[in-house]
Amino acid sequence: MDNGFWVKTICLLMMSAGLLCGAQEVPHVMLHHTGETGKLFRDWPVPPGTRYTVKKITVKEAEEKLAKDGIRLAVTTVPLRKQGLKTVKFAYQAMIFAVHPSNPLRDISLEQVRLILDRNQGSWRTFGGPLARLHLYVKAKPGLPPPSMRHDHTHDHHRKMPRTILQPEPLGGEEPEKETRPAKVNYNQPLRIQTASDARSFSLLSTDVLGMACFDITRFDETRVRILSVNRIPPTLENFRYGGYPLLTTWYLTVPENPTAEEQKLIDYLWSRKFAARLYRTGLLPEQQKKPDKKPRRQ
C-alpha cells in the first residue's frame, strides 16, 4: 500500500473522531412545557455552541417522561416531583371580574361564572338585580379582529335612495319595500363586547352601570372599579400563592438540583425581570424569586 492510502485513512479517522467529540461536547438544553406558553421561551439568547429545544407535552406525557428521567427543565401546570429535581411556583393565571363602582354586588359564585362564560346565560336578575341585560366586557383574543358592536334597541332603517343611470328600473316596476323589524332582545343572555385591552374594558365599565368586566389576573389590584370575589374568596396575592382563588391556574418551574452551565443560564433568564415583563404582558402574574439567605460572615 502506498503512503497516500495511509494518509487518507488517518485523515478520515481523525475527522470521524473530531465529529464524535464535537457531538459530545455540544451542550443540549431542552425545555418541556404544557399549554400554549411555548412562544414565550423561544426568545432566550442561546449561548453560542448550544443546542436548544422547546417541546410541548401534555400533563400525562410529562408524568411519563418524569418516570423515565426524561425531564430536567419544564414549565407545567402541575408540580413535577422527583429526586434530583426541584419544583417551585413560577407564575399565576386567572380571570378577574369587576363591576361598576356604584354596583352593590360583592361576590359571584363559580356556577354563575360558568353560566355567563360557558352557557351564555345570566342577566342582572341572576344576581338579585333587575331584569336588565348584563354587558360583559372581555378582552379580544390576539390575532382576531374586534367584532362590530351590537346594540339592543336599534336597527338599521334602509332608506330608499334615488336610482342612477347605472341602476335602471327593474322589469315589472318598483318592488314594494319590505318592512324590517327590530331584533328581539333576549335579556337572559349577556351582551358580550370584545375590547382591545383590559384598559379599554375598564374605561367602558367606569361609565356603564349595567356592565361587568372579565380581565387578566394582572389587574387584581385595580382600584377604579369594584373587584368581585368568587365563592367569597377575593383575588389577592396571598390567595394566589396559597391556591385559594377558584379560577386560578398555577404554573410550576421544574429544574435540576445540579444544572449544567447552559441550563443555569436559561434558569437565570426565566427568573429575570425581562422575562417577568413578558409574562405580565401575556396576562400571567410572575412569582417573585425568593432570594437565598445570606451566610453569616466568619468572625
Least confident of 110-114, 130-134, 137-141, 295-299: 295-299
pLDDT at 148: 35
Least confident of 13-22, 125-134, 171-180: 13-22
Q: Is residue 269 assigned to a domain?
A: yes
What pLDDT, in 10s, does the model give residues 17-46? 544 444 457 899 999 999 888 889 988 999
Tell whether 99 and 237 lie within a shared domain: yes
Alpha-carbon distance values, 136 to 111, 142, 176, 229 (Å): 16, 18, 40, 17
pLDDT at 224 over 90: no
Q: Is residue 51 assigned to a domain?
A: yes
Task: Give the CATH number for residue 241.
Answer: 3.40.190.10
Tell whether 134 and 208 lie within a shared domain: yes
pLDDT at 172: 59
Handedness of CA 180, 181, 186, 192 (dihedral sign): positive
pLDDT at 294 over 60: no
Least confident of 9-23, 81-95, 111-125, 242-256: 9-23
* Average pLDDT score over residue span 62-66: 91
Taking the C-alpha atoms of residue 221 and residue 236, their distance in angstroms, rounded to an integer, is: 8
Q: Is residue 57 assigned to a domain?
A: yes
Nearest to 76 by CA among 94, 85, 67, 88: 88
Give 149's contacts (C-beta < 8 A, 6+ positions apart): 193
Q: Identify the band that residue 13 occupies on the pLDDT scale cut at 50, 70 and 90.
A: low
Tell whether 78 and 134 lie within a shared domain: no
Least confident of 179-193, 212-226, 251-265: 179-193
Tell whether 138 and 37 lie within a shared domain: no
pLDDT at 9 over 70: no
Alpha helices for 184-292 (secondary structure H): 198-205, 237-241, 261-270, 273-282
Q: Is residue 149 assigned to a domain?
A: no
Tell whether 34 and 125 lie within a shared domain: no
Q: Is residue 190 assigned to a domain?
A: yes
Tell whether 276 and 136 lie within a shared domain: no
Tell whether 241 and 268 lie within a shared domain: no
Nearest to 13 by CA among 1, 2, 25, 5: 5
* Average pLDDT score over residue span 257-281: 94
Q: Is residue 152 assigned to a domain?
A: no
Tell whether 117 and 207 lie within a shared domain: yes
Taking the C-alpha atoms of residue 276 and residue 283, their distance in angstroms, rounded to an integer, is: 11
Taking the C-alpha atoms of residue 285 and residue 97, their distance in angstroms, rounded to an integer, is: 16
Least confident of 155-169, 174-188, 231-245, 252-266: 155-169
Q: Is residue 240 assigned to a domain?
A: yes
Find cell 361576590 and name the residue: 107
Tell whether 130 and 29 lie within a shared domain: no
Taking the C-alpha atoms of residue 231 and residue 110, their distance in angstroms, rounded to an integer, is: 6
Tell whether 70 and 192 lie within a shared domain: no
The mean pLDDT of the chain is 81
Nearest to 225 by CA among 100, 108, 134: 100
Beta bridge partners of 214: 97, 138
Taking the C-alpha atoms of residue 213 and residue 220, their distance in angstroms, rounded to an integer, is: 12
- Residue-by-residue DSSP string for 112-155: HHHHHHTS----GGGGTS-S---EEEEEPPTTSPPPPPP-SS--
Tell whether 129 and 228 lie within a shared domain: yes
Q: Identify the band that residue 252 occupies on the pLDDT scale cut at 50, 70 and 90.
A: very high
Taking the C-alpha atoms of residue 186 and residue 132, their distance in angstroms, rounded to an integer, is: 10
Taking the C-alpha atoms of residue 269 and residue 286, their distance in angstroms, rounded to an integer, is: 13
Beta bridge partners of 138: 194, 214
Phi-psi region of 160 (alpha: psi -120 to 50; beta: other; left: phi over 0): beta
pLDDT at 89: 95
pLDDT at 259: 95
Q: Is residue 214 assigned to a domain?
A: yes
pLDDT at 146: 42
Tell me the residue range of the domain where 215 lies. 95-142+186-247
pLDDT at 269: 95
How many structural domains does the chain have? 2
Tell whether 129 and 190 lie within a shared domain: yes
277 CA to centre of own chain: 14
pLDDT at 118: 85
